[in-house]
Amino acid sequence: MDRLGLRGLLGTRGFRRLLAVRFTAQWGDGMFQAALGGAVLFNPQREADPMAVALGLAVLLLPYSIVGPFAGALLDRWDRRRVLWAANVLRVVLILGVAAMVATGVAGPALYLGALTVVGVTRFVLAGLSASLPHVVVERHLVEANVVAATAGAAVAALGGACAIGLRGVFGGDNLGSAIVTVLASTGAVVAAVLAAGFRRGLLGPDRNTEARRTLVAVARGLVDGARATAAVPNVASSFAALVAHRLAFGISTLLMLLLFRHYFVSNGLFKAGMAGIGEVVVVAAAGLGAAALVTPWLAHRLGRPNTIRISLVVAGVTMLVLPMAITMPMALLGSFIVTGAGQVIKLCADAAVQSEIGDDRRGRVFALYDAVFNMGYVVAVAAAAVLAPPNGYSPLLLVLAGACYLVGVLGHELLRRRSTSASRASEHTESGISAH
């Protein structure tokens, strides 16, 4: 970071409170997802083949792809402070409902729908936090603020997941134990709601309302406006292309990782299989997020965001292409560290591009569209991998396919960046012609 430094950012009262809302919300989200994942995927009372794993992952992400456009419209219409407070209160109610279903052994569509609703509201909260950030941090420090907020927030989510895994050892991995852990996950939403209520009304924006009065009209227009706003700014569009590539590859690797640790790997010394192994993956991934927090500001300020994104795509792609040579637990953990860290670098740069180059009146819609598209890409990748993956998850070919996604992402990023350069040159040529006349 520059002269402002971490101490200066944390000295900003609004940013500090917004950070606290994010941390508590994401801790609860990480704990909820791990508790539900354990209940569905690693519960001795339930079975999980590749399609069951894919369905569980889809349930955690697909719903927001449906509610995302509504989120964007609401975030650009309503006081974001009130939205953050109300959404967290709703999360508490929904999490308790899911816990009741887990305790009573409910499975299938009802459980998945409840889980998807919880995660959908959570993504709504996170989109609101991202859209609000420029209201508590000056523009020139958005990269640093994103490093602290997004990276540390993701690390806190990983900590929540680790807490859930640890509590499963205390309360048990059956339906009742999973339900108790799920109930405890609601405490994060309770604290987040209390903290969000402490913001002054109107402080988090939106500054002005350009939405239609009727919500459905606003949603329809918001989808179009969000897509137009993204396409009109090449830096944002190219960042989105890179992040989509990451999400596709990450979806494939996530499914394989879950299957490998459940059905293929065998515990060996420090390296554990099963849910304990997934806990090790969570810890290593959190370390990757921490590494991203350290290198992103340095890379972005010295190389620029576009070059930082290119480097991250290449590093992640090469890693995925090397993994098939030795699919072992140590290599899987190393791959998780590198790929998670590289993906977080890409996300931080993309967030900063949206926050600095998209107007506040459209920022919520862009972030909502952003999350919806990326989650849909993730779900599509997981579903495709589930069809092609063997039951034990051992598939070098799918790992190569994941690596190819990153390399295609580099190409897409380059094409969109060249469009930006060509447009700038055309604009300069036109202006020169007008000046000459």
Q: What is the mean pLDDT of residues 67-81?
A: 71
**Distances 145 to 210, 233, 239, 293 between C-alpha atoms, Å:** 27, 22, 18, 10
- pLDDT score recorded for residue 434: 34
- pLDDT score recorded for residue 59: 64
Question: In this model, does residue 309 exceed pLDDT 50?
Answer: yes
In the chain, what percentage of residues exceed pLDDT 90? 36
Q: What is the mean pLDDT of residues 29-36?
A: 89
DSSP for 379-431, written as a single string: HHHHHHHHHHS-TT---HHHHHHHHHHHHHHHHHHHHHHHHHHHHHHHHHHHH
Question: In this model, does residue 436 exceed pLDDT 50?
Answer: no
CB of 42 closer than 8 Å to CB of 364: no
Lowest-confidence region among 102-106, 177-181, 221-225, 304-308:
221-225
Q: What is the mean pLDDT of residues 234-251?
A: 91
Question: In this model, does residue 31 exceed pLDDT 90?
Answer: yes
Q: What is the mean pLDDT of residues 268-276?
A: 85
Task: Give the pLDDT band of residue 218 (cuts 50, 70, 90).
Answer: low
The Cα–Cα gap between 25 and 71 comes to 17
Chain mean pLDDT for the chain: 83
Q: What is the mean pLDDT of residues 225-253?
A: 89
According to DSSP, the residues that pair with 268 across neighbouring strands are 271
Task: Give the pLDDT band of residue 115 (cuts 50, 70, 90).
Answer: confident
Residue with tokens 């299938």: 108
Lowest-confidence region among 30-44, 177-191, 264-278:
30-44
Residue 213: exposure state from Cβ atoms within 10 A (0-12, 13-18, ≥19): exposed
- Choose among 400, 396, 401, 390: nearest CA to 50: 390
Q: What is the mean pLDDT of residues 277-287?
A: 87
Most confident stretch, 73-82, 113-122, 170-179: 170-179
Question: In this model, does residue 9 exceed pLDDT 80?
Answer: no
Q: Which CATH class for the 11-421 domain?
A: mainly alpha
- pLDDT score recorded for residue 89: 96
Q: What is the mean pLDDT of residues 257-278?
A: 87
Q: What is the mean pLDDT of residues 288-308?
A: 89
The Cα–Cα gap between 241 and 20 comes to 30
CB of 344 closer than 8 Å to CB of 154: yes
**Structure-model confidence comparison of residues 390 and 4, the more confident one:** 390
Task: Give the pLDDT band of residue 426 (cuts 50, 70, 90).
Answer: very low
**Structure-model confidence comparison of residues 431 and 409, the more confident one:** 409
Question: In this model, does residue 267 exceed pLDDT 50?
Answer: yes
Question: In this model, does residue 60 exceed pLDDT 80?
Answer: no
Lowest-confidence region among 42-56, 130-144, 333-347:
42-56
**Structure-model confidence comparison of residues 88 and 231, the more confident one:** 88
pTM recorded for the entire structure:
0.69
Query: Residue 138 CB: number of other CB atoms within 10 A?
Result: 10
The Cα–Cα gap between 300 and 303 comes to 5
Q: What is the mean pLDDT of residues 398-419?
A: 92
Domain ranges (residues) in the chain? 11-421
Lowest-confidence region among 171-175, 187-191, 310-314:
171-175
Task: Give the pLDDT band of residue 73 (cuts 50, 70, 90).
Answer: low
Q: What is the mean pLDDT of residues 424-431?
A: 42
CA angle, 219 then 251 then 294, to 5°: 90
